[in-house]
Structure 1
Amino acid sequence: MSDGLITGTAGPAGPTRAFGQERVRRPRVLSPLREHLRDTMWFAPTAGLVGSMVLWWAAAELDAEIVRMLQESRDYDVIKSLIGVANDAKAVINTIGSAMMTFIGVVFSISLVAVQMASGQFSPRVVRLYVRSRITKATLTVFMATFLFALMTLTSFDSERDPRLVTNVPLIESILALLMVLVSLLLFVAYVNGTVRMMRIGFVIDRIARDALRVAARQPIELPVDAGRLGPETARITHHGRAGVLRDVNIARAVRAARRQGVVLRLIPRIGDFVVPGTPVFTVHGGAAPSRRALRYTVSVGVERTFHQDLGFGLRQLSDIALRALSPAVNDPTTAVQALDRIVQFLASVAPYPLGALGHRDRLGAIRLVQSVPDWTALVDLGFAEIRAYAPGNPQVTRRMLAGLDDLLLLAPEERREPLLRHRDLLAQAVQRSVPEPADRAFALRPDRQGIG
């Protein structure tokens, strides 16, 4: 992750304009950080190791306190019994330490195989599903925490056998270690089940569709903002940092900076665009640009796109899966039909809502940030254009695409029917050119929601 620094450059002065007062849900300030941590594999295991050390320290202190209390009450027979139980548990703790390393190796190997298969068969873009998998991170975290806890418990065993001189009997530590092993075994079963599911294309497509729908649901529900109503441009803010894909913008921070300065910011690139140092990121309308300090860490640039604020990334992945399925090397039109099912689902969900330039408001209801998102035509083209180019030789795909377009024509508002009709006509023309037999053409142009059901 790279959080680029941005600076402002002066421009012509001019007034700002007022907008409506509809309220929208304000984004949480830490949401970009939370999403970026979910795209890493180090945070959860590191937190687990730290938590394991804290748990061991607390358990060791509790064991030492129990021994001190028994020594003060002169219950030496009880201490001897605890020493015997702890010595019996020592062999089990030794076994736990070695077994956990074996389990960690198994989890790591299974994960690599699953990632390799998904990247080769589906699309390199779906690897992020495995990186963000909660069950994978939880399993690795608990296994590593159990391994470290077992090692630290072994250091607590006291070689002293005299109950009057012993300082610690790791009874609570041993019990916690055994409980952590039980949790590890349960998580391993869940991990294997989850990994096997993620190797099935239907589950992968469903996960991508649900993530895409979640992004669409977070879009502000209000009328699109006309960029021409923002007033004259007064400044530009450029990106200073490494080149990369614009992953997200800390909307809350940008809105707060614009409110304090009394201006409106317009985001020039869309989320998912590639930016280089010196690229204009914001235009300022209504006054001077906010300070460099106020806008620090507002723009996040990385090596790949993420779902956090990227409305079109889900369609991009679904289209990639369909294109790979339609390639001569794979020749799997059924997978392409499954991807088309979800493309139609996504487009149907966003069909009634405003797209294009959306506004983000401050707590008083004034628009402070205008963000460009793909409009309806861009989303329809992203979902259908490339698949349509490879579909004419596969009647299963053409029939499903026609049925999907017909369904969207019924659901979309009248003003959004043009790109759907265009793709339907282009698909029909492509089939007319590529399929010589009239009967085959008629069959390929018959809408069917299952392709060839």
Structure 2
Amino acid sequence: MNDRTSYRRPRFLAPLREHLRDTLWFAPTLGLIGSVALWVGVSELDFALVRYLQDAGEFEVVADFTSITDELQTIVTTISSAMMTFIGVVFSISLVAVQMASGQLTPRVVRIFVRSRISKATLTVFLGTFLFSLLVLTSYESESDPKLVKSVPFVQSALTLFLVGVSLVLFIAYVSSTLRLMQVGPVADRIARESLREVLRQPTGGKDAVDIPAESARISYHGRPGVLRDVNVAWLVRVARRNGIVLRLIPRVGDYVVPGTPVLAVHGEAGRELKAVGLTASVGTERATSQDIGFGLRQLSDIALRALSPAVNDPTTAVQCLDRIVLLLSTMARLPLGTAYHRDAKGAVRLVQEVPGWTDLVDLGLAEIRGASIGSPQVTRRLMAALDDLMLLTSAERREPLLRHRELMAQAVARTVPEAAEREFALRPDRQGIG
């Protein structure tokens, strides 16, 4: 068996977790709910503290607490007003950063800002602090007699000050993180890291095909049209195991599907449980990294192509993208690609999934950049060095697409560069392009 068996078995909630990471509303909503729950608990603590002091006859302590309520109320009121200003600043920085990154790099990098943990944490804490401070203001009383006071929001006010301190620290981290994500290097690194995690997480096929039963039925997709983002692998494997069949995913993850498109092929005798199995396909407006091992190469190629356009003319950015493309391809070069076989706990194949092969991935990462790099010696030299490095890391049967790209590069340079010395210079391998 040549396919990988050491990958982490998919979990039922893994697709839901990935979808929630692609949203910006989930974390702030949880933060608001948590703020309300925190205020309820802390207000009960303040109420219990005052009642304990009154029962113990410590009316002077209660009076001391009551005497500073006016100052605390003023501070909390100022905090609630300031937090709205901070929230506006965060939104402004986010919108400007997203606009600049999508314009200079590619619109596909917007999802990096949406998935940024520091951005979500900052917005969540800011909104939570604002709501908490408003709730604390409702806890202040006008009663000054220590024997009649029911609650003094002393702990609530102290916690509000603590949340402000946390907000300031997160604001500094947020600005630093946002500035880094506006640079091509950190963005390319983030794309490469996410893609590497997905590549190493997914099972990949082997050279030897697995015998599966004959196809008996097909299940069509019924829903809104869009890009196939992922499927619930764990649930499909369980359904296939219960019915004693093998399911085959017909479209690739990343394909655009429309209602009526066959999504799954059933190999073996179909059962009743398969009526709603097509609902496990998640469709969105854009591709996602989850289960899509080629999307990282697509993003890096898009950034490099925009950098090589006449309007931008930034070959150094293209070289930085090529560095990460080589990283991804060098990792994929050691993996058996093609058809992925998802197995159940007993090792039986239950789900067959088509994934891009080695030639597809090489063409995705290099073809368009090669075509746009003619006339930029910095990029052609880096591309030739990349091909040399990949040739050393791949087996003999996988060198054909690399040799093809090398030959096409040489032919293109020969057609466009008349001087022999310039041709030799443009085709000389250099990992830094031109120093």
Closer, same or farther: CA 191–321 of 1 in aligned 2, 3 Å: same
Q: Which moved more, 1:136-145 or 1:231-240?
A: 231-240
Cα distance, 1:328 vs. partner?
0.2
**Amino acid paired to 2:329:** L
Alignment of 1:18-167 (within 5 A): 24-167=7-150
Alignment of 1:319-334 (within 5 A): 319-334=301-316
Q: Which moved more, 1:283-292 or 1:44-53?
A: 283-292
Scaled by the length of structure 1, the TM-score of the pair is 0.93
**Amino acid paired to 1:99:** A
Provide the rounded CA distance (Å) in 2 between the counterparts of 1:173 and 1:240: 51
Closer, same or farther: CA 181–224 of 1 in aligned 2, 3 Å: farther
Contact 1:267/1:281 (8 A) holds in 2 = yes
1:6 alignment partner in structure 2: none
Closer, same or farther: CA 289–352 of 1 in aligned 2, 3 Å: farther
Contact 2:3/2:206 (8 A) holds in 1 = no
Provide the rounded CA distance (Å) in 1 between the counterparts of 2:275 and 2:163: 46
Contact 1:257/1:294 (8 A) holds in 2 = no
2:283 alignment partner in structure 1: 301
Unmatched segments (≥5 aa) in structure 1: 1-17
Closer, same or farther: CA 380–342 of 1 in aligned 2, 3 Å: same
Identity %: 63
The count of residues paired between Structure 1 and Structure 2 equals 435
Cα distance, 1:164 vs. partner?
1.1
Cα distance, 1:297 vs. partner?
3.8
Provide the rounded CA distance (Å) in 1 between the counterparts of 2:6 and 2:293: 21
Scaled by the length of structure 2, the TM-score of the pair is 0.97
Give secondary structure in 1 for the equivalent of 2:68: helix
Provide the rounded CA distance (Å) in 2 between the counterparts of 1:354 and 1:123: 30
Contact 1:119/1:126 (8 A) holds in 2 = yes
1:246 alignment partner in structure 2: 228
Residues 1:213 and 2:216 are matched in the alignment: no
Residues 1:391 and 2:368 are matched in the alignment: no
Give secondary structure in 2 for the equivalent of 1:161: coil
Give secondary structure in 1 for the equivalent of 2:433: coil
2:434 alignment partner in structure 1: 452
Q: In structure 2, which of residues 196, 201, 214 is the aligned counterpart of residue 232 of structure 1? A: 214
Closer, same or farther: CA 20–419 of 1 in aligned 2, 3 Å: closer
Contact 1:395/1:444 (8 A) holds in 2 = yes
Q: In structure 1, which of residues 257, 268, 276 is the aligned counterpart of residue 250 of structure 2? A: 268
The CA deviation string for residues 276-297 of structure 1, in whole angstroms up to 9 with x for no partner, is: 0010011111211552466264
Q: Which moved more, 1:115-124 or 1:286-295?
A: 286-295
Q: In structure 2, which of residues 392, 409, 413 is the aligned counterpart of residue 410 of structure 1? A: 392
Give secondary structure in 2 for the equivalent of 1:291: helix
1:375 alignment partner in structure 2: 357
Cα distance, 1:74 vs. partner?
2.0
**Amino acid paired to 1:440:** E
Contact 2:195/2:289 (8 A) holds in 1 = yes
**Which structure carries more relative contact order (alpha carbon 8 Å, separation 6+)?**
1
Cα distance, 1:223 vs. partner?
2.8
**Amino acid paired to 1:231:** P
Contact 1:93/1:154 (8 A) holds in 2 = yes
Residues 1:421 and 2:382 are matched in the alignment: no
Unmatched segments (≥5 aa) in structure 2: none
Contact 1:337/1:396 (8 A) holds in 2 = yes
Provide the rounded CA distance (Å) in 1 between the counterparts of 2:238 and 2:276: 9
The CA deviation string for residues 381-434 of structure 1, in whole angstroms up to 9 with x for no partner, is: 001111111111101111000100011011011110000000110010000001
Provide the rounded CA distance (Å) in 1 between the counterparts of 2:20 and 2:49: 40
Provide the rounded CA distance (Å) in 2 between the counterparts of 1:197 and 1:40: 21
**Amino acid paired to 2:339:** A
1:344 alignment partner in structure 2: 326
**Amino acid paired to 1:430:** A
Q: In structure 2, which of residues 152, 166, 176 is the aligned counterpart of residue 183 of structure 1? A: 166
Closer, same or farther: CA 424–237 of 1 in aligned 2, 3 Å: same
Residues 1:312 and 2:298 are matched in the alignment: no
Contact 2:3/2:341 (8 A) holds in 1 = no
Closer, same or farther: CA 81–20 of 1 in aligned 2, 3 Å: closer
Provide the rounded CA distance (Å) in 2 between the counterparts of 1:350 and 1:132: 25
Provide the rounded CA distance (Å) in 2 between the counterparts of 1:218 and 1:70: 58
**Amino acid paired to 1:70:** L
Alignment of 1:348-359 (within 5 A): 348-359=330-341
Provide the rounded CA distance (Å) in 2 between the counterparts of 1:198 and 1:438: 41
Closer, same or farther: CA 76–296 of 1 in aligned 2, 3 Å: farther
**Amino acid paired to 2:234:** A
**Amino acid paired to 1:161:** S
Measured on the aligned residues, the alpha-carbon RMSD in Å equals: 1.6
Cα distance, 1:29 vs. partner?
1.2
**Amino acid paired to 2:168:** L
Q: Which moved more, 1:207-216 or 1:294-303?
A: 294-303
Give secondary structure in 2 for the equivalent of 1:344: helix
Q: Which moved more, 1:327-336 or 1:293-302?
A: 293-302
Contact 2:204/2:339 (8 A) holds in 1 = no
Provide the rounded CA distance (Å) in 1 between the counterparts of 2:84 and 2:78: 10
Provide the rounded CA distance (Å) in 2 between the counterparts of 1:278 and 1:67: 66
